[in-house]
Amino acid sequence: MSENLSNRITKVLIAGAGVGGLTAALSLHRRGVQVEVYEKYKGMQRHTTGFTLWSYAITRLQELGLGPSEMETVGTPVEVMEIRNQKGRLIAKMPIGEVSRELGADSYEIKRPRLLEAIESQLPEGTVRRGVECVSAESSGDAATLEFADGSKATGDLVIGADGIHSNLRASVSGPSELRDSGYRGCSAVTDYTSRDDLAHFHIDIWGKGGKAGIADVGEGRIRWYLTWKTKLDNEMQTREQLLSAHQGWDPILLEVIESTPESEILHHQFFDIAAIETWRRGRIVLLGDAAHATTPFAAMGANMTIEDVAVLTEQLEQAPEVDSALAAFEDARKQRTEDIVSKGQSMARLTQLHSSFAAWLRDQAFLHMPEKETEKVTREMASGE
């Protein structure tokens, strides 16, 4: 227990039981703080989705007490990330496993609902209250109050807005914000792949012309895959047959996994980010994760940044002399860094989905001839978050 923290903060209220809300709840609970999490949905979402967590974020989860047995259920370590061109030709191979282990923890492909369940299972029963929509928050003196859709309220020493990209609490902290359409749509699914043992511990990124795709082993004989395309093509990408027909000539592995997926398991997505907001905090209210800095998934960093936010916020609450200075130090440490990643998401969207055949060919040649040392450097940057 951290006496420094629990002496100054008794109760924290958190809006949202996603990656950020639950990780923050566990981090504060481990330090002796009473936590209440309010989640607008009544139950876990039925469909499984997944994402990549790099070594540095996994280290943070391990520090919170997610040990090898929990990690085994939430996902699987990534050994190799291959970048392929549209037709399936290898253009770069990244030694994710080797580099991640040198950094101290494997990078993982994660099943989102399993991760959330694993974190929640370490919290005292009743911490997460479901079916409660937070509409706004107010700060007064050393307290902050969360207001719910049914008109009721709760008060604590600190309110954390972890209510995701469509955050209601963002407006309570920094006024109106702009959700920016990336111009891309996409879909994803998790499916069985019992016939493809050779995909074990692989993540394959396929950079196409005007769109991209990915396939990754998430453990337990299942893989996740995704596709992206320009918004104007959306009408032609609605059914599995349409997806297959639009991607004829792409990497045969991709077509095989799409074919093996029941249509009802395919989820469709719109990709947005938010323009930088003026501030992440007002009095005793603070934002983190997508509520503060939502990015498109093209840099595969949103959940990683969210977990890092929680670690830095907790460290500052422990170390800074006052809660207010801790929140200021947290914002100072994270705001510019995450804004840079939001921009990186936009650059990655352009780089990985180039529209001109010639530009795509040049890009592929550049990666194909990248010296091994450079590939390792890029891998290290991704896995370490530096």
Ligand X SMILES: Cc1cc2nc3c(=O)[nH]c(=O)nc-3n(C[C@H](O)[C@H](O)[C@H](O)COP(=O)(O)OP(=O)(O)OC[C@H]3O[C@@H](n4cnc5c(N)ncnc54)[C@H](O)[C@@H]3O)c2cc1C
Contacting positions for ligand X (CB under 6 A): 15-21, 38-41, 51-52, 133-134, 162-164, 166, 168, 188, 269, 289-291, 297, 300-304, 306
Q: Do 290 and 273 meet the contact criterion of CB atoms below 8 Å apart?
A: no
Q: Which is nearer to ligand X, 26 or 162 (CB)?
A: 162
Run of H or E including 339: helix 323-352
Q: Which residues pair with 228 in a beta bridge?
A: 186
Chain-centroid distance of CA 10 in Å reads 29
Amino acid identity of 54? W
> Look-up: residue for tokens 């047959």?
241
Q: Which is nearer to ligand X, 168 or 316 (CB)?
A: 168
Q: Which is nearer to ligand X, 33 or 160 (CB)?
A: 160
Amino acid identity of 239? T
Whole-number minimum distance, CB 45 to ligand X, in Å?
A: 8
Q: Which is nearer to ligand X, 128 or 327 (CB)?
A: 128
Whole-number minimum distance, CB 211 to ligand X, in Å?
A: 14
Which residues make Cβ contacts (< 8 Å) with residue 126, sequence separation at least 6? Answer: none
Spatial distance between the Cα atoms of 240 and 164, rounded to a whole number of angstroms = 29
Contacts by residues 4-8 (CB-CB < 8 Å, ≥ 24 positions apart)? 4/318, 4/319, 5/31, 5/32, 5/33, 5/314, 5/317, 5/318, 6/31, 6/32, 6/33, 8/157, 8/317, 8/322, 8/323
Whole-number minimum distance, CB 362 to ligand X, in Å?
A: 26
Whole-number minimum distance, CB 214 to ligand X, in Å?
A: 9
Whole-number minimum distance, CB 234 to ligand X, in Å?
A: 15
Q: Which is nearer to ligand X, 41 or 361 (CB)?
A: 41
Residue nearest to ligand X (CB): 18
Whole-number minimum distance, CB 252 to ligand X, in Å?
A: 24
Q: Do 337 and 299 meet the contact criterion of CB atoms below 8 Å apart?
A: no
Spatial distance between the Cα atoms of 162 and 300, rounded to a whole number of angstroms = 19
Count CB atoms within 10 A of the CB of residue 373: 7
Q: Which is nearer to ligand X, 44 or 233 (CB)?
A: 44
Q: Which is nearer to ligand X, 275 or 366 (CB)?
A: 275
Whole-number minimum distance, CB 294 to ligand X, in Å?
A: 7
Q: Do 13 and 146 meet the contact criterion of CB atoms below 8 Å apart?
A: yes
Whole-number minimum distance, CB 39 to ligand X, in Å?
A: 5
Q: Which is nearer to ligand X, 4 or 384 (CB)?
A: 384
Spatial distance between the Cα atoms of 305 and 313, rounded to a whole number of angstroms = 12
Q: Do 277 and 265 meet the contact criterion of CB atoms below 8 Å apart?
A: no
Whole-number minimum distance, CB 139 to ligand X, in Å?
A: 17
Q: Which is nearer to ligand X, 5 or 301 (CB)?
A: 301
Residues 241, 246, 250, 254, CA torsion sign = negative
